[in-house]
């Protein structure tokens, strides 16, 4: 556990603790048990394990834990203004929700977009949901990463800022409770994952830059 990650759940832990105390005070032991189960769930959600990051400037790692939901060619019209390969990763409530830098480089773009809270599995969530767009300018390419909220996840927490230099695998933020993370890659990138693959942030190689 890392303090920074647990700190993001401070109000949730306080509410759960209050529920447990109320159950104990009233003698409602079923409520105490419920609070204990909620504590276990929250500790699992806010876990933030260290990972062994694969080396190489050409190696791109997953920016999030989850399942590869789509791999498409699409126009990236916010930062790069060009056609890209996009890998979308769906995070359920049991995945680690800390996002990691897929490459080393400088954060050259950072923009928040207000929006809806559609289910992160809905194809329209990429366009309509609240999101945070990042760009990391590396030695070989500039990658765009988009953190997208879901129906349950309604808070994106940035831990980095424009101009920061980050290492590959660096924790730059998190999304709370079920969401989606997208990585936009150059058309020349070689994709190393397929639909349905389970990936681990900072550890799984999702592409190679050429």
**Residue 154 in 3-state DSSP?**
coil
Q: How far apart are CA 65 and CA 2, in angstroms?
A: 17
Query: In what side-by-side order are the strands of the sheet with 171-175?
Result: 98-100, 171-175, 156-158
CB of 201 closer than 8 Å to CB of 184: no
Q: How far apart are CA 68 and CA 66, in angstroms?
A: 7
Q: Counting every residue, how long is the chain?
A: 210
Pick from 185, 209, 25: nearest CA to 89: 185
Catalytic residue at 160? no
Q: How far apart are CA 24 and CA 129, in angstroms?
A: 40
Pick from 58, 121, 102, 78: nearest CA to 200: 102
| Residues with a known catalytic role | 179
């Amino acid at each position: 556990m890392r303090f920074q990650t647990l700190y993001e759940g401070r109000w949730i832990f306080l509410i759960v603790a209050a529920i447990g105390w109320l159950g104990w005070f009233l003698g409602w032991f079923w409520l105490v048990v419920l609070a204990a189960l909620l504590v276990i769930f929250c500790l699992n959600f806010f876990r933030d394990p260290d990972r062994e990051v694969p080396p190489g400037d050409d190696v791109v790692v997953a920016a999030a834990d989850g399942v590869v939901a789509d791999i498409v060619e699409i126009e990236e019209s916010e930062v790069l203004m060009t056609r890209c390969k996009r890998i979308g990763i769906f995070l359920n409530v049991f995945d680690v929700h800390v996002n990691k830098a897929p490459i080393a480089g400088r954060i050259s773009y950072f923009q928040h977009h207000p929006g809806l809270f559609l289910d992160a599995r809905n194809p329209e969530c990429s366009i309509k949901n609240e999101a945070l767009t990042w760009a990391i300018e590396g030695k070989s390419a500039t990658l765009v990463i988009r953190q997208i909220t879901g129906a349950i996840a309604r808070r994106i927490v940035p831990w980095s800022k424009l101009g920061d230099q980050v290492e590959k695998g660096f924790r730059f933020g998190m999304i709370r409770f079920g969401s989606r993370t997208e990585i936009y890659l150059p058309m020349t990138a070689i994709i190393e994952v397929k639909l349905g693959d389970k990936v681990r942030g900072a550890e799984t190689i999702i592409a190679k830059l050429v």
